[in-house]
A = this chain, B = another copy of it.
Protein backbone atom coordinates (compact mmCIF):
# COMPACT_ATOMS: atom_id res chain seq x y z
CA UNK A 1 0.00 0.00 0.00
CA UNK A 2 1.66 3.25 -1.07
CA UNK A 3 2.02 5.96 1.56
CA UNK A 4 -0.16 9.00 1.03
CA UNK A 5 2.13 11.99 0.37
CA UNK A 6 0.51 15.42 0.38
CA UNK A 7 2.33 18.34 -1.24
CA UNK A 8 1.02 21.85 -0.60
CA UNK A 9 1.51 23.90 -3.77
CA UNK A 10 0.99 27.52 -4.76
CA UNK A 11 1.01 27.91 -8.53
CA UNK A 12 0.47 31.68 -8.81
CA UNK A 13 3.33 34.12 -8.15
CA UNK A 14 5.41 31.71 -6.05
CA UNK A 15 8.96 32.19 -4.75
CA UNK A 16 8.92 35.96 -4.72
CA UNK A 17 12.34 36.03 -3.04
CA UNK A 18 13.73 34.83 -6.39
CA UNK A 19 12.34 37.92 -8.15
CA UNK A 20 15.82 39.39 -8.58
CA UNK A 21 16.80 36.52 -10.86
CA UNK A 22 13.49 35.33 -12.45
CA UNK A 23 10.33 37.10 -13.55
CA UNK A 24 6.90 35.88 -12.43
CA UNK A 25 6.34 33.63 -15.45
CA UNK A 26 9.73 31.96 -14.89
CA UNK A 27 9.11 31.57 -11.17
CA UNK A 28 5.78 29.87 -11.90
CA UNK A 29 7.43 27.52 -14.38
CA UNK A 30 10.29 26.84 -11.96
CA UNK A 31 7.87 26.04 -9.12
CA UNK A 32 6.06 23.54 -11.40
CA UNK A 33 9.38 21.93 -12.39
CA UNK A 34 10.46 21.61 -8.74
CA UNK A 35 7.06 20.09 -7.93
CA UNK A 36 7.61 17.58 -10.72
CA UNK A 37 10.99 16.59 -9.27
CA UNK A 38 9.41 16.15 -5.84
CA UNK A 39 6.60 14.00 -7.29
CA UNK A 40 9.15 11.87 -9.12
CA UNK A 41 11.22 11.31 -5.97
CA UNK A 42 8.10 10.49 -3.92
CA UNK A 43 6.90 7.95 -6.49
CA UNK A 44 10.40 6.45 -6.56
CA UNK A 45 10.09 5.96 -2.81
CA UNK A 46 6.76 4.16 -3.15
CA UNK A 47 4.53 7.06 -2.16
CA UNK A 48 1.26 8.18 -3.76
CA UNK A 49 1.51 11.96 -4.22
CA UNK A 50 -1.41 14.34 -3.81
CA UNK A 51 -1.08 18.04 -4.62
CA UNK A 52 -2.92 20.23 -2.13
CA UNK A 53 -3.68 23.42 -3.98
CA UNK A 54 -5.94 26.45 -3.58
CA UNK A 55 -6.94 26.28 -7.27
CA UNK A 56 -7.37 23.51 -9.81
CA UNK A 57 -3.97 22.28 -10.83
CA UNK A 58 -3.06 19.14 -12.73
CA UNK A 59 0.13 17.12 -12.81
CA UNK A 60 0.20 13.71 -14.52
CA UNK A 61 2.11 12.10 -11.63
CA UNK A 62 -0.23 13.07 -8.81
CA UNK A 63 -3.78 13.47 -7.61
CA UNK A 64 -5.03 16.95 -6.75
CA UNK A 65 -7.05 18.14 -3.76
CA UNK A 66 -8.41 21.67 -3.82
CA UNK A 67 -8.69 23.59 -0.56
CA UNK A 68 -8.95 27.36 -0.49
CA UNK A 69 -7.94 27.72 3.15
CA UNK A 70 -4.51 28.68 4.50
CA UNK A 71 -1.71 26.12 4.73
CA UNK A 72 -2.28 24.92 8.29
CA UNK A 73 -6.07 24.79 8.02
CA UNK A 74 -5.94 22.92 4.71
CA UNK A 75 -3.38 20.41 5.97
CA UNK A 76 -5.18 19.81 9.25
CA UNK A 77 -8.46 19.26 7.43
CA UNK A 78 -6.63 16.86 5.13
CA UNK A 79 -5.26 14.94 8.14
CA UNK A 80 -8.71 14.84 9.72
CA UNK A 81 -10.32 13.52 6.53
CA UNK A 82 -7.79 11.07 5.16
CA UNK A 83 -8.73 8.09 7.28
CA UNK A 84 -6.31 5.61 8.79
CA UNK A 85 -2.80 5.01 7.60
CA UNK A 86 0.25 7.21 7.59
CA UNK A 87 0.53 10.55 5.81
CA UNK A 88 3.70 12.20 4.61
CA UNK A 89 3.59 15.99 4.25
CA UNK A 90 6.22 17.13 1.79
CA UNK A 91 7.05 20.68 0.69
CA UNK A 92 7.05 21.32 -3.05
CA UNK A 93 10.33 23.27 -3.11
CA UNK A 94 12.67 20.40 -2.26
CA UNK A 95 14.06 19.45 -5.69
CA UNK A 96 17.17 17.87 -4.19
CA UNK A 97 15.05 15.20 -2.48
CA UNK A 98 15.92 11.64 -3.42
CA UNK A 99 13.89 8.45 -3.19
CA UNK A 100 16.59 7.03 -0.92
CA UNK A 101 16.26 9.98 1.45
CA UNK A 102 12.47 9.75 1.48
CA UNK A 103 12.69 6.06 2.33
CA UNK A 104 14.76 6.96 5.39
CA UNK A 105 11.77 9.04 6.52
CA UNK A 106 9.00 6.55 5.80
CA UNK A 107 11.04 3.68 7.30
CA UNK A 108 11.00 5.29 10.74
CA UNK A 109 9.87 3.15 13.65
CA UNK A 110 8.56 6.23 15.50
CA UNK A 111 5.12 7.85 15.47
CA UNK A 112 6.39 11.03 13.81
CA UNK A 113 9.46 11.70 11.63
CA UNK A 114 10.54 15.25 10.87
CA UNK A 115 13.10 16.53 8.40
CA UNK A 116 14.04 19.97 9.67
CA UNK A 117 14.84 22.79 7.29
CA UNK A 118 17.45 25.35 8.14
CA UNK A 119 16.42 27.94 10.69
CA UNK A 120 13.84 25.90 12.58
CA UNK A 121 11.53 25.02 9.72
CA UNK A 122 9.80 21.71 8.96
CA UNK A 123 10.36 20.54 5.38
CA UNK A 124 8.95 17.03 5.62
CA UNK A 125 6.84 15.36 8.29
CA UNK A 126 5.68 11.77 8.47
CA UNK A 127 2.61 11.13 10.61
CA UNK A 128 1.79 7.52 11.36
CA UNK A 129 -1.66 8.19 12.79
CA UNK A 130 -3.11 11.41 11.34
CA UNK A 131 -5.95 11.42 13.87
CA UNK A 132 -3.43 12.11 16.68
CA UNK A 133 -1.48 15.04 15.21
CA UNK A 134 -2.02 18.49 13.77
CA UNK A 135 0.51 20.69 12.00
CA UNK A 136 1.56 24.26 12.77
CA UNK A 137 3.75 25.63 9.99
CA UNK A 138 5.34 29.08 9.87
CA UNK A 139 7.82 30.44 12.43
CA UNK A 140 9.78 27.87 14.41
CA UNK A 141 7.62 25.00 13.20
CA UNK A 142 10.25 22.39 14.06
CA UNK A 143 9.96 23.29 17.76
CA UNK A 144 6.18 23.57 17.50
CA UNK A 145 5.91 20.11 15.94
CA UNK A 146 8.12 18.59 18.66
CA UNK A 147 5.86 20.20 21.27
CA UNK A 148 2.66 18.98 19.60
CA UNK A 149 4.07 15.44 19.42
CA UNK A 150 5.15 15.54 23.06
CA UNK A 151 1.73 16.76 24.19
CA UNK A 152 0.13 13.85 22.30
CA UNK A 153 2.67 11.38 23.74
CA UNK A 154 4.02 10.57 20.27
CA UNK A 155 7.62 9.47 19.66
CA UNK A 156 9.64 11.55 17.20
CA UNK A 157 12.49 10.78 14.82
CA UNK A 158 14.55 13.68 13.43
CA UNK A 159 15.81 12.60 10.01
CA UNK A 160 19.20 13.99 9.04
CA UNK A 161 19.08 15.04 5.36
CA UNK A 162 20.88 17.95 3.74
CA UNK A 163 18.99 17.43 0.48
CA UNK A 164 15.58 17.61 2.14
CA UNK A 165 16.68 20.41 4.49
CA UNK A 166 17.38 22.56 1.44
CA UNK A 167 14.19 24.37 0.50
CA UNK A 168 14.63 26.72 -2.42
CA UNK A 169 13.70 30.25 -1.41
CA UNK A 170 16.60 32.53 -2.24
CA UNK A 171 19.16 33.07 -4.93
CA UNK A 172 21.94 31.32 -2.99
CA UNK A 173 19.79 28.19 -2.65
CA UNK A 174 20.00 27.75 -6.43
CA UNK A 175 23.68 26.87 -5.95
CA UNK A 176 22.61 23.61 -4.32
CA UNK A 177 20.38 22.69 -7.27
CA UNK A 178 23.19 23.31 -9.73
CA UNK A 179 25.62 21.27 -7.62
CA UNK A 180 23.47 18.38 -6.44
CA UNK A 181 20.03 18.02 -8.04
CA UNK A 182 19.40 15.09 -10.35
CA UNK A 183 15.99 16.06 -11.73
CA UNK A 184 14.62 18.63 -14.17
CA UNK A 185 15.12 21.71 -11.96
CA UNK A 186 18.81 21.90 -12.74
CA UNK A 187 18.22 21.80 -16.49
CA UNK A 188 15.52 24.45 -16.17
CA UNK A 189 17.96 26.82 -14.48
CA UNK A 190 20.64 26.13 -17.04
CA UNK A 191 18.08 26.66 -19.80
CA UNK A 192 17.33 30.20 -18.65
CA UNK A 193 21.05 30.96 -18.32
CA UNK A 194 21.50 30.52 -14.56
CA UNK A 195 24.86 28.97 -13.75
CA UNK A 196 27.50 28.73 -11.05
CA UNK A 197 29.98 31.53 -10.51
CA UNK A 198 33.29 31.20 -8.70
CA UNK A 199 34.38 34.78 -9.17
CA UNK A 200 34.15 35.85 -5.54
CA UNK A 201 36.01 32.82 -4.15
CA UNK A 202 32.68 31.54 -2.87
CA UNK A 203 30.28 29.62 -5.07
CA UNK A 204 27.34 31.76 -6.17
CA UNK A 205 24.95 31.92 -9.12
CA UNK A 206 24.81 34.33 -11.99
CA UNK A 207 22.43 34.67 -14.89
CA UNK A 208 23.78 35.16 -18.37
CA UNK A 209 22.60 38.55 -19.70
CA UNK A 210 22.06 37.11 -23.22
CA UNK A 211 19.30 34.66 -22.34
Contact = CB atoms under 8 A, between A and B. Distances in A.
A136 B176 CA distance: 20
A44 interface: no
A161 interface: yes
A154 B163 CA distance: 23
Interface string A65-90: 00000000000000000000000000
Interface stretch (A12-20, A127-135, A138-146): A138-146
Interface stretch (A3-11, A34-42, A48-56, A115-123): A115-123
A160 B161 contact: yes
A62 interface: no
Given A160-B161, A176-B118, A140 B101 contact: no
Contact of A163 (B160, B164, B166, B180): B160
Interface stretch (A22-30, A184-192, A198-206): A198-206
B165 A203 contact: no
A156 interface: no
Nearest to A158: B180
Contacts of A160: 98, 100-101, 161-164
A109 interface: no
B120 A179 contact: yes
Contacts of A198: 139-140
Given A100-B160, A139-B203, A158-B180, 5 more contacts: A116-B162, A119-B172, A139-B202, A140-B196, A160-B162
Contacts of A115: 162
Contact of A116 (B164, B172, B179, B202): B179
